[in-house]
C-alpha cells in the first residue's frame, strides 16, 4: 500500500492542513506480467493488473475522531491494509475538534470538507470524480462528521457509514440544543453557536435533511453502527430511528460486547469495507470512466 501525508494551504481554512492518503499499490505492476516475469514472485502467482495513465480509484473519505489527527487513524487502525484488500483509496483530512462544520470562530471545516477537498483530491490525485465511486465514513466525532456531511451534500457520496457518532451533529435537533444549553461537552461551545440560533440554520440537520429529501435528488445509503456498550449508544440509535422516519435509506447495526474504542472501530472499518460499501475491488481504467 502506498501512503502519503500531504500538506497544503487551504483557502477555506485559511491555513495549512495535513491530509493522509493511501493508494492500493501492492496489487499493481509496472509491466505486463502476463508476458514476462521479473523480480521475485511465487510460482503460479497470478499476473497483477498494470498501472495505466489516467486510471482512478474509488475513494473513501475516512474521518478521524475527536482529539485525534489524520495520522492516528493509520497508527491505531488497520485501515490501510483493509483498503489494500479492496483496491480502494483512502483520504483522511485533519479535522481537529471541529465536528466538520463551519465553526462559529470562522474556521470553515464544513466548506473545506465538501467544497475544497474533493476538488483538490480529484485534481491532484487518482480519485474517481463519480459520485458512485465516493463514500464517507468516520468513527466517534468522525462518525458525526460523516453523517452531517452526507446529509448536507448528498451529491458527493454514494454511501455513508457513521461508526459510534454520538457526539456532534445529529438529526435530532432538540438533542443538540439541549446539549449546548447544558454545557455537557465544553468543546461544543468552541464550534457551535448558541442553542437558540440552531433552528433553521446550517446546524439544524433535521431541517436540512427534510429539504434534501423533498428536493427529489438521489440520497446516499446510510449505515449507522454502534457498540452495545457505548456510552452514547442511545443517541446513535436515535439518529438512525429519526432518519428512518424521515424517509432515508438507513440501517442501524449494533454489535454485542463492543465499546467506544479503537478495537471496535478497527472491526467496524473492516466490516464496512467487507460487507457494506459497494466497492468494485479493482482500479478504474480510463475506458470505464
The CATH number of the domain holding residue 259 is 3.40.50.1820
Containing H/E element for 226?
A: strand 221-227
For 145-180, write each residue's pLDDT tens digit.
999 999 999 999 999 999 999 888 999 999 999 999
Report d(CA 11, CA 61) in Å as an integer: 19
User: Can you tell me which residue has the cell 466490516?
Assistant: 271
User: Tell me, what's the pLDDT at 188?
Assistant: 82
For the chain, how many structural domains are there in total? 1
Q: What is the DSSP string of 92-144?
A: EE--TT-TTSB-TTS-BHHHIIIIIHHHHHHHHS-B---GGGEEEEEETHHHH
How many other β-carbons are positioned within 10 Å of the β-carbon of residue 54? 10
User: Are β-strands 2-10 and 59-63 bridged in parallel, bridged antiparallel, or unpaired?
Assistant: unpaired
User: Considering the entire predicted model, what is its pTM?
Assistant: 0.96
User: Tell me, what's the pLDDT at 123?
Assistant: 97
- What percent of the chain lies above the pLDDT cut of 90? 84
| 6, 54, 124 from 62: Cα distances, Å | 15, 24, 18
For 87-144, write each residue's pLDDT tens digit.
999 999 999 999 999 988 888 999 999 999 999 999 999 999 999 999 999 999 999 9
User: Tell me, what's the pLDDT at 106?
Assistant: 83
136-161 b/e (C-beta count within 10 Å ≥ 16 → b):
bbbbbbbbbbbbbbbbbbbebbbbbb
DSSP state of 238: H
| Residue 243 predicted with pLDDT over 80 | yes
Report d(CA 171, CA 238) in Å as an integer: 9
User: Can you tell me which residue has the cell 460487507?
Assistant: 275
How many other β-carbons are positioned within 10 Å of the β-carbon of residue 131? 14
User: Tell me, what's the pLDDT at 37?
Assistant: 78
Averaged pLDDT for residues 46-73: 94
User: Are β-strands 250-255 and 2-10 bridged in parallel, bridged antiparallel, or unpaired?
Assistant: unpaired
Residues of the domain holding 131 = 2-288
What confidence tier does 289 reach under pLDDT thresholds 50, 70, 90?
low
User: Tell me, what's the pLDDT at 187?
Assistant: 81
What confidence tier does 47 reach under pLDDT thresholds 50, 70, 90?
confident
Q: For residue 180, give the 3-state DSSP assignment.
A: helix
Report d(CA 173, CA 184) in Å as an integer: 16
Average pLDDT value for the chain: 94
DSSP state of 260: S
134: β partners: 59
Amino acid at each position: 500500500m502506498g501512503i502519503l501525508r500531504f500538506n497544503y494551504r487551504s483557502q477555506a481554512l485559511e491555513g495549512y492542513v495535513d491530509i493522509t492518503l493511501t493508494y492500493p499499490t501492492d496489487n499493481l505492476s509496472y509491466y505486463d506480467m502476463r508476458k514476462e516475469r521479473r523480480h521475485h514472485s511465487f510460482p503460479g502467482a497470478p499476473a497483477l493488473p498494470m498501472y495505466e495513465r489516467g486510471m482512478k480509484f474509488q475513494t473513501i473519505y475516512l474521518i478521524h475522531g475527536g482529539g485525534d489527527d489524520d495520522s492516528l487513524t493509520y497508527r491505531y487502525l488497520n485501515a490501510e491494509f483493509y483498503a489494500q484488500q479492496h483496491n480502494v483509496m483512502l483520504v483522511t483530512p485533519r479535522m481537529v475538534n471541529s465536528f466538520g462544520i463551519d465553526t462559529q470562530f470562522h474556521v470553515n471545516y464544513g466548506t473545506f470538507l465538501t467544497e475544497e477537498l474533493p476538488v483538490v483530491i480529484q485534481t491532484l490525485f487518482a480519485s474517481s470524480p463519480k459520485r458512485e465511486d465516493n463514500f464517507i465514513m468516520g468513527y466517534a466525532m468522525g462518525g458525526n462528521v460523516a453523517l452531517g456531511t452526507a446529509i448536507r451534500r448528498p451529491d458527493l457520496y454514494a454511501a455513508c457509514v457513521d461508526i459510534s457518532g454520538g457526539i456532534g451533529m445529529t438529526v435530532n435537533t432538540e438533542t443538540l440544543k439541549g446539549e449546548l444549553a447544558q454545557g455537557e461537552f465544553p468543546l461544543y461551545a468552541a464550534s457551535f453557536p448558541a442553542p437558540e440560533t440552531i433552528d433553521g440554520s446550517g446546524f439544524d440537520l433535521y431541517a436540512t435533511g427534510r429539504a434534501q429529501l423533498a428536493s427529489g435528488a438521489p440520497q446516499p445509503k446510510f449505515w449507522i453502527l454502534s457498540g452495545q456498550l457505548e456510552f452514547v449508544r442511545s443517541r446513535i440509535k436515535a439518529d438512525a430511528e429519526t432518519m428512518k422516519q424521515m424517509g432515508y435509506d438507513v440501517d442501524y447495526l449494533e454489535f454485542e460486547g463492543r465499546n467506544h474504542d479503537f478495537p471496535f472501530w478497527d472491526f467496524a472499518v473492516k466490516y464496512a469495507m467487507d460487507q457494506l460499501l459497494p466497492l468494485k475491488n479493482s482500479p478504474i481504467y480510463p475506458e470505464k470512466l
